[in-house]
């Protein structure tokens, strides 16, 4: 378990001086990397064996309506592992330990040369092979799309500065691209309440991504991020406002 303080920079805020969801995910990613390193399974440890953590899916929810500029603290910890997947919890706190954002993420370890998943190390399975009581249930990430064709589409061009240490698009960008693809009039004056992201195929710099927007229940949308080069879905996102 780790708690890490992040001073919020002005370039991370939106036009209302609020902290966007994608920024919270960046803080969580950094804290998760630090906690993994303390456990002996950080990026520097795994890359020696040509391995790397990959994020498979994530669910998060906002706990406050208007989250203005303030330093935040991220608390994250490893709660569960099975043969291939590990689950991590996180909570983001603001001033006076006010909870702002929380969620869960699921990770696997991949052999980056052979391009296949490897078994979870025994060290992570020890004492983490059973789900603890009281965890938020895992959402349905495989729910069918509400329509055959999107109501709107948006095109994104990936950039070199979007890449992570493994040379792929950093997962936090998918959240930002999905949210900005929902028409402004559908989210203006509302607060993002729920976010589900599944990661399906990796993307690199210089690719064109088509974001398909599928309205579902009121103030909620499914979004597909598809590589134009081969038509493969890179990520699928569910976003709900209130």
In a domain, 86, yes or no: yes
Dig out the tokens for 28 from the structure. Answer: 């969580």
Q: Tell me how many domains the chain contains.
A: 2
Angle, helices 21-38/171-181, rounded to nearest 10 degrees: 170
Is 97 found in the same domain as 16?
yes
Handedness of CA 114, 118, 121, 122 (dihedral sign): negative
In a domain, 9, yes or no: yes
Q: What does the pLDDT read at residue 66?
A: 67
Is 118 found in the same domain as 49?
yes
Q: What does the pLDDT read at residue 236?
A: 98
Q: Alpha helix (H) ranges present in 39-181?
A: 43-47, 122-125, 171-181
Is 229 found in the same domain as 157?
yes
Q: What secondary structure letter does DSSP report for 135?
A: P
In a domain, 233, yes or no: yes
Is 112 found in the same domain as 203?
no
DSSP 157-174: E--GGGB-TTSSB-HHHH
Helix H or strand E encompassing 234 = strand 233-241
Of 180, 197, 187, nearest in space to 220 by CA: 187
CA distance 100 to 24: 9
Is 198 found in the same domain as 91?
no
Is 165 found in the same domain as 120?
no
Tokens 């406050």 correspond to: 64
Is 166 found in the same domain as 104?
no
CA distance 9 to 67: 14
* CATH code of residue 25: 3.10.129.10
Q: What does the pLDDT read at residue 70?
A: 85
- To the nearest 10°, report the CA torsion of 29, 31, 34, 38: -120
Is 177 found in the same domain as 100?
no
> How far is Cα of residue 188 from the mean position of the Cα atoms in its chain?
23
> How far is Cα of residue 181 from the mean position of the Cα atoms in its chain?
17
Q: What angle do CA 53, 59, 61 make, to 5 degrees?
A: 135
Is 178 found in the same domain as 70?
no
- What are the distances in angstroms from CA 198 to CA 11, 92, 195? 27, 21, 10
- For the chain, 242 residues long, give each residue's pLDDT as a single digit of tens: 999 999 999 998 888 888 888 899 999 999 999 999 998 888 899 999 999 999 999 999 988 866 788 899 999 999 999 999 999 999 999 988 889 999 999 999 999 999 999 999 898 888 788 888 888 999 999 999 999 999 999 999 999 999 998 889 999 999 999 999 999 999 988 889 999 999 999 999 999 999 999 999 899 999 999 999 999 999 999 999 98
In a domain, 178, yes or no: yes
Is 229 found in the same domain as 160?
yes
DSSP 7-26: PPPGGGS-TTSB--HHHHHH
Helix H or strand E encompassing 186 = helix 184-187
Is 182 found in the same domain as 102?
no
Domain that holds residue 166: 152-241
């Amino acid at each position: 378990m780790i708690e890490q303080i992040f001073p919020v920079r002005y370039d991370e805020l939106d036009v209302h001086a609020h902290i966007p969801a994608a920024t919270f995910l960046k803080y969580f990613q950094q804290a998760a990397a630090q906690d993994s390193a303390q456990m002996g399974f950080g990026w520097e440890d795994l890359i020696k064996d040509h391995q790397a953590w990959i994020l498979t899916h994530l669910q998060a929810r906002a706990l406050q309506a208007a989250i203005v500029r303030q330093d935040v603290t991220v608390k994250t910890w490893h709660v569960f592992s099975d043969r291939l997947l590990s689950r991590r919890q996180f909570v983001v706190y603001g001033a006076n330990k006010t909870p702002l954002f929380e969620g869960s993420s699921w990770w696997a370890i991949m052999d980056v040369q052979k391009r296949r998943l490897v078994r979870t190390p025994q060290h992570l399975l020890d004492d983490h092979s059973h789900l603890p009581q009281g965890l938020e249930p895992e959402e349905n990430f495989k729910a069918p799309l509400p329509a055959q064709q999107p109501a709107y589409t948006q095109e994104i061009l990936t950039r070199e500065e979007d890449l992570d240490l493994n040379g792929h698009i950093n997962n936090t960008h998918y959240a930002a691209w999905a949210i900005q693809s929902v028409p402004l009039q559908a989210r203006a004056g509302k607060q993002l309440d729920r976010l589900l992201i599944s990661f399906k195929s990796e993307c690199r710099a210089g690719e064109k991504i088509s974001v398909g927007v599928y309205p579902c229940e009121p103030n909620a949308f499914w979004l597909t991020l598809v590589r134009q080069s081969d038509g493969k879905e890179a990520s699928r996102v569910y976003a709900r406002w209130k």
